[in-house]
Amino acid sequence: MTATICGTGSYIPSYTMDNNDIARLVETSDEWIRERTGVIRRHIIRDETTVSMAAEAAKRALEDAGVSPEELDLILVSTISSNVILPCAACEVQERLGAPRATCFDLSAACTGFILAYNTAFAYLNSGFGKTALIIGSESLSNLTNWKDRRTCILFGDGAGAAVLRAEEGTVYLPVTHSDGRKGEALTCKSRHDYNGLSDGHCRERPQDTPDEEYYMQMDGQAVFKFAVKSVPEVINEALELNHVSSGEISYYILHQANRRIIEAVARRLGEPMEKFPVNLQEYGNTSSASIPILLDEMNREGKLRKGQKLVLAGFGAGLTWGASIIEWHRCRTNEIK
């Protein structure tokens, strides 16, 4: 038994900040950001929350799949930027959708989160533990961004993407994933729940001598860059070898959208043409666990995906964590109609 994607959806906030807007906040320029990252603008929440975006992306994915919320056995939300600590975002999405049968939980693995959500749902469905799953990546990274730090605030954006999976007969492709907690310092963000007003007074006070910066995302950009361009091609090759699939059989590599130069370097190292590496980060920036499902949804809705095509999904990020999964595109209503 394998898990096939039978519908996708996404939600993007309408409010945008382009590079010139960022240049009014910190010393940078549109030219520098475009050249070093490929990002031109990013979408930022106004009235939305991580949960509201997740629920909207989920509704669109269910509609695309022709699946009702009552059919869902599992709802997984991958996020590092949930509105609240409790309840988990997946339970809040369940409540908004009306999916009474679903088991719901969140998963925190930063920019590799959607890959791990897919793998977890795949393992559930493959083992007979449910038939229909909804996986979502949703992030309000603007809440975790230090808008005074030009090394990070140029990179990130908000949004959500979702996919509906069904247990079906088909080829099983095993995923490959890795983690290296020894390198966690490369990308960090401390919890703010004990001083940002959500506390009921029982939590530990924020130490007076702790600089505020620690409570926003902090990154060693060069270390993360080097890690990504080395580990992503390696893990993709591992997944291809493990499953006896050649790179020639892959139609698209759908990578986490962090930086255009990273994607180009991965393509070069794999010896594959850039046409196989769709890029949309110029519009959204890095939306962490939402980036892969947003891109997948765009490609689905643009009719770029065809039945039987093999795709590689690959993510990398804080933890450090990284991984690649091969999927075969099977049941897409958008394509069926065409």
Is 256 part of the annotated catalytic residue set? yes
**Helical (H) or strand (E) element with 11:** strand 2-11
Q: Does 150 bind ligand COA (CB under 6 A)?
A: yes
Q: Does 321 bind ligand COA (CB under 6 A)?
A: no
Which entry of 19, 119, 286, 300 is annotated as an active-site residue? Answer: 286
Binding residue (CB under 6 A) for ligand COA from 114, 118, 225, 277 = 225
Contact pattern for ligand COA over residues 4 through 33, marking x by CB under 6 A: ------------------------x---x-
Q: Is 28 left (phi over 0), alpha (psi -120 to 50) or beta?
A: beta
Task: Compute the distance between CA of residue 11 and CA of residue 206 in angstroms, rounded to an integer.
Answer: 34
Task: Compute the distance between CA of residue 290 and CA of residue 229 in angstroms, rounded to an integer.
Answer: 20
Task: Compute the distance between CA of residue 285 and CA of residue 256 in angstroms, rounded to an integer.
Answer: 11
Binding residue (CB under 6 A) for ligand COA from 13, 159, 293, 317 = 317
Least distance to ligand COA, CB of residue 22, Å = 8
Which entry of 43, 91, 153, 256 is annotated as an active-site residue? Answer: 256
Is 91 part of the annotated catalytic residue set? no
Cis peptide before 242 (omega within 30 of 0): no
**Helical (H) or strand (E) element with 114:** helix 113-126
The 10 Å Cβ neighbour count of residue 164 is: 26
Is 111 part of the annotated catalytic residue set? yes
Binding span for ligand COA by CB under 6 A among 148-156, 208-216, 267-275, 300-308 = 148-156
Task: Compute the distance between CA of residue 331 and CA of residue 89 in angstroms, rounded to an integer.
Answer: 27
Contact residues for ligand COA, defined by CB under 6 A: 28, 32, 36-37, 111, 150-151, 154, 219, 221-222, 224-225, 258-259, 286, 316-317
Give the residue numbers marked as catalytic.
111, 256, 286
